[in-house]
Amino acid sequence: MAEKQNAQSREQRKKDKQNEKKLAKQQELEKIKRPRMRVIPIWIRIILVAAFFCVAVVAGAMFGYGILGDGAPMDVLKKETWEHILDLVKVE
């Protein structure tokens, strides 16, 4: 009786291993078959990164000129301010 149970348990283990192998193969095939769909396309990501970079540069310039430099933060957006800064940097 014990030998029958051992034989049945061995057969069951073999079947379990075979089922595990089949499942693993199916999962691999599913991974290969389905290409990953991106929620946000790469070209939109590039545009967003560029936009965030521009906003960060302007915000940093406004913070530096307005708060650290004791000027008006909106003056950073004026052409005359940048001409004055470039005149100070360029020594001719």
CA distances from 10 to 17, 78, 81 (A): 11, 83, 84
**Is residue 62 pLDDT above 90, yes or no?**
yes
The per-residue pLDDT for 92 is 66
Report the predicted TM-score, pTM, of the whole model to 2 decimal places: 0.55
The span from the CA of 1 to the CA of 60, in Å, is 82
**Buried-state track 35-63, b at ≥16 Cβ within 10 A, e below 16:** eeeeeeeeeeeeeeeeeeeeeeeeeebbe
**Is residue 57 pLDDT above 80, yes or no?**
yes
The span from the CA of 58 to the CA of 35, in Å, is 39
- Using one digit for the tens of pLDDT, what is the confidence trace for 11-28? 888 888 888 888 888 877
Q: How confident is the model at residue 79 (pLDDT cuts 50, 70, 90)?
A: very high
